Amino acid sequence: MDAFVTAMLSRSDALPHDPLFQAGRQVAEAEERREQQMRILSGLAQGAPARVYAEHVRSEINRTIVLSRMHQELIESLLAE
């Protein structure tokens, strides 16, 4: 992309290319997936194989959220320097 095109981008167009914005969006999307998974879990019988698998998926989503937050904090600290 040449300098003229870059200069013409508005702030709203630039946001999706901002690493901190992207990291925050990843966290929000993962939190939304966790909420969806919780709704799925609430409809499954305790001890059922489907529930066991759904709980595993939820734990992986939780792990993703932790990693995404760490990524976001790393970007914030790098930008603060």
- Could you read off the pLDDT of 3-18 as tens digits, one per residue? 554 555 555 565 668 9
- For the chain, give the longest Cα–Cα distance: 60
Is the confidence at residue 80, as pLDDT, over 60?
yes
Query: Between the CA of residue 49 and those of 12, 18, 33, 54, 64, what are the distances in Å?
Result: 45, 41, 20, 9, 23
Instruction: Compute the average pLDDT of residues 43-48.
Output: 95
Give this prediction's pTM. Answer: 0.75
Query: Between the CA of residue 47 and those of 21, 30, 36, 41, what are the distances in Å?
Result: 39, 25, 20, 11
Q: Give per-residue pLDDT as tens, 18-37.
A: 999 999 999 999 999 999 99
